[in-house]
Amino acid sequence: MSRVEDVLRDMAAAVSDTAEHAMATALAATDVARKSKALRALVAATEGAAAAGSEGESESEGASESDTDAEEDRKGEGEERAAEAEEAEAEEEAEKEAAVLESLAQASPAVLRRISNARSLRKLAGEIGEMQSKMRRLASSSPQLLQSVSVLEKEALFQQLAEVLRAAEAPVLRRWYREAGRGEEAEQAAEELEEHLAGWLCLARRRVAFLFHAADLRGLPVPSSLEARLLRQAALVDFELTAHLVRSLLLLRVPLFAPRAVSRPGGKLAELMRECDAAVESLNPHSSTPPPS
């Protein structure tokens, strides 16, 4: 009896082990099926993305090719327009030259002589300006080459410069006393006031014009203005003192006698004063600032 029970227990254990093994096998098969399904889905998604990428690349290549073609077309059109503009400009210059030659052919000998003299003077002025520039550079690099200036000579020079600056300021002061000093600006109409301001600016520019003549070293190698020549000489002797006198006796005083509508910050008078200051700075023999045009 005990023998039968042992056999039955062994059979039950074997059946239990077989059932557990079958269950594990089923679970493993299910897991494998799930993983294979996920793998197939992943492969399908990868293939779809690759196909979409290839289509996008082909589309982008086509778009880039079309953009390149359009850019080349635009570049070609721009070159054609530039060539046409150059041809038109060349034709216009040729017409101008032909007109000049025709007018010269009909001109009298006296006119031709004046034209020739003007060309010679322009060429001579350019050569003198170039020589003066070289001499200024040489003098600034080697001041010992210049002849010494005595104290009396320097005093006389800057006294003359001070008189020139006061004389330049005097008409502005007289106009202020005659018009703005008596309060006529407030009583004028708009149009009259505008004409008055334009006239005042014109007067101020005329009175400081010698500063620009002195600063135009290339265009005016030897200016006809005595004030400009004196200013150049003073700048070579002592630029710091020259700039101080010009600013204190002229540039800082002219705005004091300007009408209120002109002396606003950022107005035309302020712009004129900046131009004058730049002209003075260009007279510095040790500065590389180009002269104002």
What tens digit of pLDDT does each residue of 52-80 get?
Answer: 555 555 555 555 566 666 667 677 777 77
Mean pLDDT, the chain, as a whole number?
Answer: 75
> In sequence order, what are the residues at sequence separation of 6 or more whose Cβ sits closer than 8 angstroms to the Cβ of residue 275?
212, 292
Q: In this structure, how many other beta carbons lie within 10 angstroms of the beta carbon of residue 119?
A: 10
- Whether residue 242 is predicted with pLDDT greater than 70 in this model: the reply is yes
Together in a domain, 258 and 154: yes
Residue 133 lies in a domain: no
Closest CA to 242 of 220, 215, 268: 215
Q: What percent of the chain has pLDDT over 90?
A: 20
Tokens coding 212: 């620009």
- Whether residue 95 is predicted with pLDDT greater than 60 in this model: the reply is yes
Together in a domain, 67 and 157: no
Contact 235, 283 (CB under 8 A): yes
pLDDT digits (tens, 9 = 90+) for 152-165: 999 999 999 999 99
Band the pLDDT of 5: cuts 50, 70, 90: low
Give the structural domain span for 9: 1-81
Task: Read off the amino acid at residue 200.
Answer: W
Band the pLDDT of 41: cuts 50, 70, 90: low
Of 103-117, 190-204, 231-245, 258-272, give the lowest mean pLDDT range: 103-117
Residue 40 lies in a domain: yes
Together in a domain, 185 and 270: yes
∠ CA 24-25-30 to the nearest 5 degrees? 95
Band the pLDDT of 236: cuts 50, 70, 90: confident
The predicted pLDDT at position 15 comes to 45
Residue 67 lies in a domain: yes
Is pLDDT larger for residue 168 or for residue 52? 168
End-to-end CA distance of the chain: 133
Q: What is the mean pLDDT of residues 6-18?
A: 52
Q: What is the mean pLDDT of residues 191-213?
A: 86
Q: Which run of H or E residues covers position 222?
A: none
Q: Which run of H or E residues covers position 255?
A: none
Positive or negative: CA dihedral 29, 35, 38, 44: negative
Together in a domain, 260 and 165: yes
Q: What is the mean pLDDT of residues 79-97?
A: 77
Residue 105 lies in a domain: no
The predicted pLDDT at position 253 comes to 92
∠ CA 13-18-20 to the nearest 5 degrees? 95
d(CA 120, CA 106): 21
Number of domains making up the chain: 2
- Whether residue 20 is predicted with pLDDT greater than 60 in this model: the reply is no
Q: What is the mean pLDDT of residues 253-258?
A: 88
> In sequence order, what are the residues at sequence separation of 6 or more whose Cβ sits closer than 8 angstroms to the Cβ of residue 280?
211, 215, 242, 243, 246, 247, 251
Question: Which residue, 81, 105, 140, sits at the end of a domain?
Answer: 81
Question: Which residue, 57, 81, 105, sits at the end of a domain?
Answer: 81
What are the E-state strand segments in 46-170? none
Residue 98 lies in a domain: no
The predicted pLDDT at position 30 comes to 56
The predicted pLDDT at position 157 comes to 94
Token look-up 């009583």 returns 187
Backbone phi, then psi, for 147, in 5-degree steps? -70, 140
The predicted pLDDT at position 248 comes to 94
Together in a domain, 72 and 191: no
Residue 252 lies in a domain: yes
Residue 104 lies in a domain: no
pLDDT digits (tens, 9 = 90+) for 100-153: 666 666 667 777 788 788 888 888 877 887 887 787 778 777 777 777 888 999
> In sequence order, what are the residues at sequence separation of 6 or more whose Cβ sits closer than 8 angstroms to the Cβ of residue 130?
218
Closest CA to 223 of 283, 167, 269: 283
Together in a domain, 166 and 275: yes
Residue 217 lies in a domain: yes
Question: Which residue, 59, 81, 103, sits at the end of a domain?
Answer: 81
